[in-house]
Structure 1
């Protein structure tokens, strides 16, 4: 990619979503501009284009110590990241509703548990090869084993107030079985909690 590819990505997003033009002057109010969500989609498209279509992967955009040339994915750069943070702050100040993840509730976990335990969903089927171009039913994803593991992550995240990236750091050695009805989980990282970093959960 061009050495200034990261700057070009910023300019592309800025032209579509920012309230200022590329020359730094304010845009006319009549000119439509995309939301922050649209800006995120543009960046995701750039990340995919450079990463998958051009085979650059997700390596951060950086200068090679060997060749002196820029290597990696220009969309995964400090320049683009800083701009996205700035754009989000501007959108919030302008009154745009901030995007947020849907909070999981005990009711949702309850419904997931019963759905994932339905016979046709919970059945653990043998692994089979599927042709790349074969039609896919979006309602048929994963399998019984994958759904059980995902449900476990959801429950642990809910009980321990973890973000999903924190939950994914938990490994088998962090879990110790106490009895057939309980286990102990030691978080492998710091987590502010009035009860410390250990939780003992009794399985029903």
Structure 2
């Protein structure tokens, strides 16, 4: 398995910085409901596109303010059998209000069949296309960070900059090892300056 990195071999950033994340979110909020909520979910949960398309109304906790996401990286129990692993990620209430209004989450939860249906019945490729198109509209340069992976890494960087404990970020991102999550504590550029500024103040 290749080691996760925040920069490519040429030193190019692989994550969206704070300015790019804000521009992406603003552009997403100008889109039709399906694309807006899809992008907001990736932005606020840090989930992978393959995980996003598995989210159902049953996994949205409107009163608890969280979304349960199934981690799709293979995990094994003590006997070596594959096991299902879910993680719960807290999300902003205004985002949940938008999600509920756009997709009728509360209503769908009353029907077992509707509650188990994907909110975004799309392929991973289609999700990638939607996200990339909106990133272009947001003015994010044609560089390695302009991708859903760049959005996920941006979520991790943002959490680290804002002092989220690594063990909590590990849970939110669905990493099996804390050492994987620790790359976000090695933030660089403006993000590193923001962390260092705590010593200067």
TM-score when scaled to structure 1? 0.28
Larger radius of gyration: 1
The structure with the largest helix share of the pair is: 2
TM-score when scaled to structure 2? 0.29
